[in-house]
Amino acid sequence: MKISTAIARLEAVQRLYGDIEIIGGYLTDNSPLRNITVINTDGVELWPKDTSAYAGPAEVDGVFLD
């Protein structure tokens, strides 16, 4: 992922969820950044997926990079 793409996605997350923490991820030499997601405390992806089908609590936990 290019830096400009990562910045744009993180800015979109910030607009929607505020200045939340980056809580984890997987980055290695052989596995570059491919996804930026927001998850809740149950580990369910809230963004960029449509979570309207998820009926549980949606308390934001943070951003996950992988």
DSSP state letters, the chain: --HHHHHHHHHHHHHHH-S--EEEE--BTTB----EEEEETTS-EEESS--TT--S---EEEEEE-
Q: What is the pTM of this model?
A: 0.82
30 or 15: which carries more pLDDT confidence? 15
The pLDDT, as a whole number, for residue 42 is 84
Report strand pairing: 60-65 vs 22-25. parallel
Look at residue 55 and tell me whether its pLDDT is greater than 60.
Answer: no
User: pLDDT band for position 53 (50/70/90)?
Assistant: low
Evaluate whether 26 touches 66 at the Cβ level (below 8 Å): yes
Look at residue 54 and tell me whether its pLDDT is greater than 80.
Answer: no
